[in-house]
Amino acid sequence: MTNPTLELILRHASARHYKPDPIPASMIEEIVVAAQHASTSSALQAYSVIAVTVASKREILSELCNNQDHIRQAPLFLAWCADLSRLGDICKSRGYTQVTEYIENFLVAAFDAMLASQNAALAAESMGLGVCFIGSIRRKSQEVIDLLGLPNLVFPVVGMTIGWPSHANKLRPRLPLEIVLHWEEYDKNPKTEALQAYDKTMIETGIYDYLQSPASEGSKQSEYAGWLEVSARRASKADRTGLRNCIEKQGFALK
């Protein structure tokens, strides 16, 4: 079974090379309106998005986000933010005090932002635009907060480049369904053969060719690193270790 929506979803591939052509403000607004129709916890809509189109500001964002060149290239950068600031004002106006000190409060806002951002990605791709999610917006969170003028109780969860792709994007195969889909309870079977088959597929795509490296530490033999090796390396390294302090500084206590 297929339909245009499923076809659009299954064609998704991150775009990292863009034409300089600007995106009309009306299209940006349509994308955000589509984002607003994503599911939201208790209709709180606890998120905001900052649209950055000024080249000089995107240059700074690129430097803050691990110096990714496509942030400079793309005519639009969207910063999706968990936002409890607005609700705080609403509570105050109605004679209440907003509770913000628990992890759940932050997660509600963060999930709302992420759900909205995925809707935005699909909307943009339906218009012929390319998108790429930018997790490294959390690499130097405080600098991003300062650059975007985010008030207390607003935190940048994820970024997104949007623009007209300069060439076709390479589709990355996903894990086999049997690995991610569990029926009734979690299947603890490691699915080794399926993982190895997927790893071979990923190597054959050429996506990881540039990561040719020693097969093991101290070994003189080398191999093309596939998804298993790259993912294991990534998961074994601490990253963005100052996030909690930055989140708490923005007013989320995370109890």
pLDDT tens digits for range 118-158: 999 999 999 999 999 999 999 999 999 999 999 999 999 99
% of residues, the chain, pLDDT over 70: 93
| pTM more than 0.75 | yes
**200-248, pLDDT tens digit by residue?**
998 888 776 544 444 445 544 445 678 888 888 889 988 898 899 999 9
Q: What is the pLDDT of residue 220?
A: 43
The whole-number pLDDT of residue 223 equals: 59
pLDDT for res 101: 94
How confident is the model at residue 36, as a pLDDT? 98
The reported pLDDT for the residue numbered 221 is 44
According to DSSP, the β-strands at 213-214 and 47-52 are unpaired
Could you give the percent of the chain with pLDDT greater than 90? 80
Tell me the pLDDT of the chain averaged across its residues. 92
Question: How far is Cα 108 from Cα 98, in angstroms, rounded to an integer?
Answer: 14
pLDDT tens digits along 128-137: 999 999 999 9
pLDDT of residue 217: 52
Give the domains, in start order, of the chain with CATH numbers: 4-169 (3.40.109.10), 177-235 (no CATH)
Burial of 100 (C-beta count, 10 Å sphere; 0-12/13-18/19+): buried
Q: How far apart are CA 29 and CA 67, in angstroms?
A: 27
What are the tens digits of pLDDT across the range 178-203? Answer: 999 999 999 999 999 999 999 999 88
What's the start-to-end Cα distance of the chain, in Å? 45
